[in-house]
Amino acid sequence: MGDLTTERSSATGTAPVLVASNRGPVSFSTADDGTLTLRRGGGGLVSGLSAIDDPTAVWVCAALNDADRRAAREAPDGRLDLAGHEVGGQAVRMLDIDPQTFAHAYNGVANSTLWFVHHLLYATPTAPSFDAGFRTEWAAYQAYNTAFADALATEAAPNAAVLVQDYHLSLTPALLRAARPDLRIGHFSHTPWAPPEYYRLLPDDVARAVLTGILGADRAGFLTERWARAFAACCADLLGATVDHEALTVTHEGRTTHLGVHALGADADFLRDRAHRPDVDERLTALRTAVGDRRTIVRVDRTELSKNIVRGLQAYRHLLRTRPEWHDRVVHIAFAYPSRTDLAEYRDYTAAVQRLADEIDTEFATPTWQPLILHVNDDFPRSLAAYRLADVALVNPIRDGMNLVAKEVPVVSDHGCALVLSREAGAHAELKDDALTVNPYDVIATAEALHTGLIMSPEERADRTKRLAAAATALPPQQWFLDQLNAL
């Protein structure tokens, strides 16, 4: 242990680049014999960070489970790389935050409050209700953000660049700025941003704290200009900040924060390679057997309240009720993977999806035709197989920061695919010219768009798909990450 301690002290405060996010690039589980097993994660942030060829860059993240917490405790100051874990070429500092503090901050504030506000999800006659319980959660959220700010302040070299990620860490930039004014700090929001009149649902002090927290950054990044302008409008409305709409800056209490728009794209090389591996081919064969020579409507989502799966199923049911010519000629492949099962609203929503799926089968299925194939267990190769097979892709979120599925399907589609896309998805800004746009609340119009997609000629589908794929891959994850870093 002595050598590690020496190595640790020389590594303190030497990171020129740091990333902070709730979920890190690795997670742990405990094997039957009590040893820790490490699993590396994927996603845009992981491939983005791989663009930095610097082993002294540090990723700060939270321990998400008991095995993570044990790994963090057993590593010097939570530095997994110094404990000999293979974390992928970067240094990783995992924070062992008290489980109850973490649960209050993550479930109570981040996922049950900020997420709900930005996705406009509240049924306002009954929720939200900011009572004493919420104040306990808010204190935990402050403590959680402080733990991140302290760790970043300790790890950062003088004048280092720090990229703070998402709504979990909205207070961190200002806390870090107070401790280390020399740092160049960026914050990136992967969600939409609520318009001022809806954002004002939050208690006034909380609403202001979230805004001033992000304004502690030199740059605040968003997935679309629409979300950036909504943030600016909230700053003007609630803080009296000065907004320069042309330069996209917000000035408050003598400091100016630049707003950046970075529309995260799909990773074309990875997707095309991964979509043609044997495990995907195998699942594609199984799906083709199940579908036969019928057309396919495909959706792939987490069972997330904002994804609007129930209205999507209602639209499919309306299509079958009003256009009987599609009976026995189309199959809806719906993959709805579990999400946030520790929250009651999500469990209820998953049950509602399952109920409606059963009703559709009961109403329309015949001995030779299953109109709906629903899977609720996560299977990435099967998702890629469905992307390749899709004649129509349905992406109809109530509201979405980006929605990468809308960008991934055109990239891996075998024969071209009509994209039915909600105007409330961030991806709509880039894909609207070649997508079939829908209002996510309008079930009948969505059914009509599905019909339009199904009767679209193969030539038109192929042409649209080519243009969609080009737009979808304009800013791949590594470039997305480097653009933000360079802007700092």
Q: What is the pLDDT of residue 344?
A: 84
State the alpha helices, DSSP H only, in 297-442. Answer: 309-322, 344-364, 380-389, 405-412, 428-431
For residue 44, what pLDDT is reported? Answer: 65
Angle at 468 between CA 462 and CA 473, to 5 degrees: 130
The 3-state DSSP class for residue 400 equals strand
CB-based contact 471:249 (threshold 8 Å): no
- What does the pLDDT read at residue 249? 98
Helix, strand or coil, per DSSP, at residue 303 = coil
How high is the pLDDT of residue 43?
Answer: 67
Per-residue confidence at 18, pLDDT binned at 50, 70, 90?
Answer: very high
- The pLDDT score that the predictor gives to residue 13 is 87
pTM of the model: 0.94
**SS3 of 373, please?**
strand
DSSP-assigned letter for residue 396 = -
**Per-residue pLDDT tens for 32-59?**
999 999 998 766 677 777 777 788 899 9
Q: Would you state the structure tokens that stand for residue 36, as one six-digit string?
A: 């820790």
Residue type, 84: G
**Residue 469, both tokens:** 């794929």
Residue identified by tokens 């800004």 is 429
What DSSP string describes 410-471?
HHH-SS--EEEEETTBTTHHHHTTTSEEE-TT-HHHHHHHHHHHHHS-HHHHHHHHHHHHHH
Rounded CA-CA distance 177/488 in Å is: 14
Secondary structure of residue 43 in the 3-state scheme: coil
Neighbours of 285 (CB within 10 A): 11
**Of 184, 163, 251, 262, the residue nearest 222 (C-alpha):** 262
> By mean pLDDT, which of 12-16, 106-110, 155-159, 322-326 is the weakest?
12-16
Measured CA distances, 152 to 25, 68, 91, 187 (Å) = 17, 19, 13, 13
Instruction: Determine the Cα–Cα distance for residues 323 and 340; give it in Å rounded to an integer.
Output: 36
Interatomic CA distance for residues 473 and 412, integer angstroms: 11
Task: Write out the two tokens for 110.
Answer: 């981040």
In this predicted model, what pLDDT tens digit does every residue of 350-371 receive, in sequence order? 999 999 999 999 999 999 999 9
Tell me, what's the pLDDT at 376? 87
Picking from 56, 404, 391, the residue whose alpha carbon sits closest to that of residue 223 is 404
pLDDT value at residue 339: 81
**What is the distance of C-alpha 47 from the center of its chain?**
14
Distance between CA atoms of residues 485 and 488, nearest Å: 5
Q: Is the dihedral of CA 470, 476, 479, 483 positive or negative?
A: positive
pLDDT recorded at residue 181: 97
**Average pLDDT across the chain, whole number:** 94
Q: Is the pLDDT of residue 4 over 60?
A: no
Q: Sheet holding 156-165: strands in order across?
A: 91-95, 58-62, 15-20, 156-165, 184-189, 219-222, 255-261, 249-252, 242-244
**Structure tokens that stand for 304 in this block:** 């997330």
Pick from 62-66, 75-79, 102-106, 476-480: least confident? 476-480
Closest CA to 419 of 373, 466, 380, 384: 466
Those residues whose C-beta lies under 8 Å from the C-beta of residue 231, and which sit 6 or more positions away, are 189, 193, 211, 214, 220, 222, 250, 259
Q: Tell how far CA 71 is from the center of its chain.
A: 26
pLDDT at 6: 32
**Separation between Cα atoms, residue 261 and residue 188, nearest integer Å:** 9
